[in-house]
Amino acid sequence: MVAFSAVMSLVLMIAADSAVMEACNATWARAFYGQDTLPPLAMQQHRFSMGVSGAGVLGWTVTLMFIVLGPYRRRENWAWTCVAVSVAVWAVCDLVLSLVHGVAGEVVFAACAGFGILLPVLLARREFSIPEPAREFMYDTMLSVARHA
């Protein structure tokens, strides 16, 4: 997961207009411009947007790596919740935005990546146990965050 995310981040940051991204870029071009390639000015903006997204993904990947290599490996409940919820939130938001905007390639990527990351996390759930006070704390924290958003 970490290696794949790191590589994808780098591709987004430095090679958004390369052959590696050609099929993905074509879905963006069809969704927003009704053609198979992005116009030059749109490609410039696309490279910037993908680069900034790649930087964000790389930061998230580093954070998850530290959580997975430490507390998650020690089977700390909060670490499982952190990984599962952060991946689920990303996948759902990415899927919804991609569906709304008709970017088919991103729908496929987000669905496959989200499922591919979440499946082993969900299967590992039985290795973790959440006592009632922790569940209450998580619920209260999520409500508090939602109220302040």
**CA pair distance 131, 149, nearest whole angstrom:** 27
pTM above 0.85, yes or no: no
Report whether 63 contacts 50 (CB < 8 A): no
**CA pair distance 93, 61, nearest whole angstrom:** 17
Map out the domains of the chain as residue ranges. 2-148
In the chain, DSSP finds a helix count (H) and a strand count (E) of 6, 0
If you average pLDDT over residues 33-61, what whole number do you get? Answer: 94
What are the tens digits of pLDDT across the range 1-10?
A: 678 888 888 9
What are the tens digits of pLDDT across the range 53-107?
A: 999 999 999 999 999 999 999 888 899 999 999 999 999 999 999 999 999 889 9
**CA pair distance 50, 8, nearest whole angstrom:** 10
